Chain A
Amino acid sequence: MTSAERFLAEHAPRFEEIRETYLDYGPLLPTRYGPPLVRLLVRDPEGIYAYWEGGTTLRVLDRTRGSEMRMDILEVGSGFLAAEPEHEYEAEIGREESGHFAAVARSNRVRTPRRGPALEVDAEWAPTSKEWEQLRALSALLAMPLPSSPKA
């Protein structure tokens, strides 16, 4: 939500909805494009999004943890997947037969962002104790807490 929209949402009085007069939702788009494909996008530190076409099994690989998850999917589809901050993910689509997975497409690799400060301090740019307190006040305001002292 941009600041203008946030402002509107917070200030708007509730009143009767304006009658919608423009109900043309536009031309139909292709339901599929052909070649097997899977792609990932990052939503936030805890969520990624995948869309695909051309497979019946989706395999999501957590490259940071070294784990994987498989799920049955429709040939063309999309979905949001739970993720962890600062993890790298890849996905594959393919077919699974008697426990054996054969990939037909592999996705791009994505990395989820940090949920809070990195805590890595540059020796040359180390915050003084006053500066650390200032950072703590900021992080509290943003609900992204910092510990009471920097990592040694």
Chain B
Amino acid sequence: MPRGYLCLVLHAHLPFVRHPEHPEFLEEDWLFEAITETYVPMLQLFDRLAAEQIRYRVTMTLSPTLCEMLADPLLQDRTARRISRLTELVDQLRSRARAEFRPALDMYRRHFAETTKTFETRCGRNLLGAFRKLQDLGRLEIITCAATHAFLPLLHREEAVRAQLRVATTNYRKHFGRPPRGIWLPECAYAPGLDRFLSEERLRFFIVDAHGLLNGSRVPKYGVHAPIRTPAGLAAFARDVESSKQVWSAREGYPGHGAYREFYRDVGFDEEASFIRPYLHADGVRRNVGVKLHRITGEVPLHAKEPYDPVAASAKAREHAGNFHFNRVEQTRHLAGVYGRPPVVLAPYDAELFGHWWFEGPQFLEHLLRLAASHPQELELATPAELESGRLQVLEPSMSSWGDKGYSEVWLNGGNEWIYRHQQEIADRMVALARSWPQADGLDRRALNQAAREVLLAQASDWAFLMTTGTAVPYAHRRFKLHVDRFHRLHDQVRAGRVDENLLREYEGKDTIFQEIDYRVFA
């Protein structure tokens, strides 16, 4: 038995953003950036370790909305186009760059060449297949999420919660060929009683924030360092505070080190307008394009950042991985002494931290996984699925989330509260429709299925989140309202017995998510 277990949980999620009605669309960049900077580098590192027979265990959420985008041919084509544009941009930059930027540009050139190889050759543009293979090999534990990442404690009726979960587990089976064992609750948000619905989907474990266990119905004997059993029989694991802080904290966190790539200094702003114009969106507005040639340097203004040195940054990532591993070994040594049993340290992160925000994050992860594999007696990598069986303390976790202040405020405040009236109304109407049409067929059935998609898309926590953080606010408003509006039109047409096929086809062509959906999931 090892002295302790480390569960790394990487939560990969993006809202469903797909706009076939436009030749290019700004918010689709979220997916392209995550693919080139996070998902592909992760696949590459997982592949390398698997090829070297290195034993690693990592848990990863691939949210249903993300899966649906990764499997979408239109978005795959657009991703491929994006990668080739960036490759071309880097070549152009290299032909005119000053010597101090050569190392960074050489790195980018290799990076995009390898990205192309992985995306096109290794994966045939569909990353899901590669992730699925790693799961089948026993390296990755892929868990699901709610269908559109709804903040479940704010859904007001059981049917809505059930639909979010049922659509998610059905979609998981479509993409991964087996049922999911665990779930990442969107925003880590739990409320007492949710476990019953998770149990109906035969899910075996989920994750809560630290205070979800600490403030549970009983004092948790082992704090956040052992799973507990909920009243409905699921295992709940809690986030370890110490390991989170080490990566996230602005002062002590690794990603803020001066050697690492500076996210906010991008050639989209640095290069002269006529040169960079072809690589911007059609509106010509300067934005980050994803090629960044400076390092964080220190607490200096953006213009004083120094050139990026990939070799120094890699060395730092290796050093930080060593430090993280050392700290976890020390932590589990201490905790094993306190509890007289191996503690479970569960460290969850947004997957996009690794690569997208923290460019060297995937290198950090790879070093960490190698270190852990070579010292298994001190700290063993494990997944919650391997640790959830057996007799556990029974308690009901408290309502909690990993959002600012720990509850619902990020998703329910003066800037976004107006959405809930509409979101709940359309869920009520959807339930009523599903009950009034238990056996619809033909056009009615298509309209009802599309109505169900619109309800789910309106429930995404992302819209409320964007409204709170002040990013892409008009887009978030528009997306939320569009789905509500589309639902109402479909609802009224079905009720009136006059479905407009042209309109239906338009919505079906835009909101293509969950082709397998059966609207009766809301009944």
Chain A interface (Cβ < 8 Å from any Cβ of B): 1-8, 10-13, 15, 18-30, 33, 39, 41-45, 47, 49, 51, 78, 80, 108, 111, 113-122, 125-127, 130-131, 133-135, 138-139, 141-142, 144, 150
Give min CB distance, B516 to chain A, whole Å.
28
- A44 touching B406 in the complex, CB below 8 Å, given contacts A25-B474, A25-B481, A119-B219: yes
Interface band, chain B = 35 or more
Known contacts: A3-B244, A6-B248, A138-B210. The answer to whether A108 contacts B474 by CB under 8 A is no
Cβ–Cβ contact B156 & A108, under 8 A = yes
Interface residues of B in 328-342 (CB under 8 A from A): 335, 337-339
Residue of B nearest to A2 (CB): B350
Please, which residues of chain A bring their CB within 8 A of the CB of B218?
118, 120-122, 125
> Which chain B residues numbered 70 to 86 have a C-beta less than 8 Å away from chain A?
none
Q: Which residue of A lies closest to B337 (CB)?
A: A130
Interface stretch (choices B48-56, B113-121, B396-404, B430-438): B396-404
- Does chain A have a CB within 8 A of B285? yes
Among candidates B220, B301, B337, B402, residue contacting A3 with C-beta atoms closer than 8 Å:
B402
A150 with B219: CB separation less than 8 A: yes
Q: Please tell me if the beta carbons of A7 and B248 are within 8 angstroms of each other in the complex.
A: yes
Chain B contacts with A in 271-323, Cβ cutoff 8 A: 283, 285-287, 301-302
**Chain A interface secondary structure, helix, strand, loop or mixed?**
loop
Quick check: B215 and A135 within 8 Å, CB to CB? no
With contacts A41-B156, A144-B211 taken as known, whether A118 is within 8 angstroms of B477 at the C-beta atoms is no
Chain A residues lying within 8 Å of B215, measured Cβ to Cβ, are 113-118, 144
Least Cβ–Cβ distance between A137 and chain B, in angstroms: 9
Structural contact, B211 and A142, CB atoms closer than 8 A:
yes
Residues of chain B with a CB closer than 8 A to A25's CB: 474, 477-478, 481
Contact B480 A26 (CB under 8 A): yes
- For residue A126, which residues in chain B have a CB less than 8 angstroms away from its CB? 221
> B224 near A: Cβ within 8 Å?
yes
Within 8 Å by CB of B393, from A122, A133, A135, lies: A122
Nearest B residue to A79, CB-CB: B417
B96 sits at the interface (CB 8 A)? no
**Identity of the chain A residue whose Cβ is nearest the Cβ of B225 in the assembled complex:** A134
State the Cβ distance, A111 to closest chain B Cβ, in Å. Answer: 8
Flag the segment in B124-132, B140-148, B418-426, B505-513 that touches A: B418-426
Question: Contact partner of B407 among A3, A5, A28, A42, CB < 8 A?
Answer: A42
Inter-chain contact B338/A13, CB cutoff 8 Å: no
Partner of B214, one of A2, A44, A49, A144: A144
A4-B357, A7-B248, A41-B408 given; A13·B264 CB < 8 A: yes
A-contacting 9-mer, from B172-180, B250-258, B366-374:
B250-258
Min distance, Cβ B225 to any Cβ of chain A, angstroms? 8
Closest to A25 in B: B477
Is B232's beta carbon under 8 Å from chain A? no
Sorted nearest first, the 4 A-B pairs with minimum C-beta distance are: A26-B481, A10-B250, A26-B478, A44-B407
Given A11-B263, A51-B417, A138-B210: 10 more A-B contacts, CB < 8 Å: A3-B248, A7-B353, A11-B255, A12-B264, A29-B422, A78-B421, A113-B399, A121-B219, A131-B339, A135-B214
